[in-house]
Amino acid sequence: MAVVIKKKQGEVITKEAATSLLLAHHLTDQKSKPKTPFLIRSYAIAEETEQTLENLKQDATDTIGRPISSSALLRAFVRFLAQQPSAWTAKQLHPLIEEEREQGRLWGRQQTARK
């Protein structure tokens, strides 16, 4: 037996139909915040750095319970670093950047001995 909830322009809406309409309205009425489009970039990393990245991804996946991509992990790192004071980045991050730069490859040119 169908229970009449209300009439809409001469049609009878049952409880089941009303529930269905309400769910459909709720699902379509939600305004989601538009996502910022991502820029596609590629970066070269050493094999040992790739292994570290994979380990961090696995740890995050195990903790969060959902698969975590390298891109999500790197975006989180950048967001974290952006939140740090400039004195912190100068003391903690800049020496690591300089060390990485000194060990880096010069693509398209032969590597020369550095002083």
Q: Where is pLDDT greater, at 111 or 38? A: 38
Residue 54 has pLDDT above 90, yes or no: yes
pLDDT at 1: 47
Is the whole model's pTM more than 0.85, yes or no? Answer: no
Tokens at residue 32, please?
Answer: 């989601």
H-assigned helices in the chain: 15-29, 47-64, 70-82, 86-88, 94-103
Q: Where is pLDDT greater, at 12 or 43? A: 43
The DSSP symbol for 66 reads S
Task: Please report which confidence band the pLDDT of residue 82 belongs to, taking 50, 70 and 90 as the band edges.
Answer: very high
55-79 confidence digits (pLDDT tens): 999 999 999 999 999 999 999 999 9
Q: Where is pLDDT greater, at 95 or 4? A: 95
pLDDT at 63: 96
Q: Are 25 and 15 in contact (CB under 8 A)?
A: no
